[in-house]
């Protein structure tokens, strides 16, 4: 089976900054550059879908000053910054998954415009998990199904998740020296291969992506059979 969808838990940004004795925000800025370069590299490797865990639902519990700084940085990044232009040049289509109701109107407007601007692109499909938590996603899907009177089957649940219409990731890569999903795509990850390179996200590059892809192809995927 060809590898078509890789999801990334982009962890280790603050540790990267701490180890280099630079402001924490510089770690996240470097991490966002790594997101853009990974999209481009994945496109070159003919990966059709990529998903990035940018900001979790649990991150809302962090100090207000951290949230404000991060959101300001993210807003600048997505407001047609240089890295976004690189992604648009390869025909990337961007879609945001997560509870958008918690995002500020200015940031939400930027994200909505990006989704609209790229909706007809077919170079690579980029899902950005922002204000996202898998448990929250499943609860929101269940509420939607109850409101619409939809029966609870595996197919119907999948079709009402934020990722409806997108194939489940075959490979999930987590950097940051931790080995857990942290409430990320738990429904969709049922048969995903997990790979934990011992590096921090800002250091992830095209070479690391190739290593991850090579690792995937060493795995035997039997799906319980």
Catalytic residues, by residue number, are 11, 59
Q: Which of 57, 65, 37, 83 is nearest to 205 (CA)?
A: 37
Q: Which of 83, 77, 75, 78 is nearest to 95 (CA)?
A: 78
Ramachandran category for residue 105: left, alpha or beta (phi over 0 → left; psi -120 to 50 → alpha): alpha
Starting at the earlier edge strand, list the strands of the sheet with 193-195. Answer: 92-97, 124-132, 49-56, 5-9, 171-174, 193-195
Measured CA to CA, the distance from residue 184 to residue 172 in angstroms comes to: 10
């Amino acid at each position: 089976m060809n590898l078509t969808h890789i999801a990334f838990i982009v962890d280790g940004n603050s540790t990267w900054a701490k180890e280099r004795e630079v402001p924490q925000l510089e770690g996240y800025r470097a991490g966002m550059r790594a997101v853009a370069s990974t999209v481009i590299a994945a496109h070159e490797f003919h990966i059709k879908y990529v998903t990035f865990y940018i900001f979790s639902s649990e991150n809302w519990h962090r100090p207000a000053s951290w949230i404000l700084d991060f959101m300001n940085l993210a807003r600048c990044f997505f407001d047609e910054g240089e890295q976004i232009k690189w992604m648009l040049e390869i025909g990337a289509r961007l879609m945001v998954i997560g509870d958008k109701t918690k995002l500020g109107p200015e940031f939400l407007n930027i994200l909505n415009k990006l989704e609209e601007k790229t909706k007809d692109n077919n170079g690579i499909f980029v899902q950005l998990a922002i204000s996202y938590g898998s448990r929250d996603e499943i609860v929101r899907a269940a509420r939607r199904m109850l409101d619409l009177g939809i029966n609870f089957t595996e197919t119907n649940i999948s079709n009402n998740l934020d990722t409806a219409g997108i194939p489940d990731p075959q490979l999930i890569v987590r950097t940051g020296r931790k080995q857990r999903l942290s409430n990320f795509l738990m429904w969709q990850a049922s048969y995903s291969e997990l790979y934990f390179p011992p590096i921090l996200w800002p250091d992830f590059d095209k070479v690391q992506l190739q290593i991850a892809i090579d690792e995937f192809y060493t795995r035997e995927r039997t799906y319980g059979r």
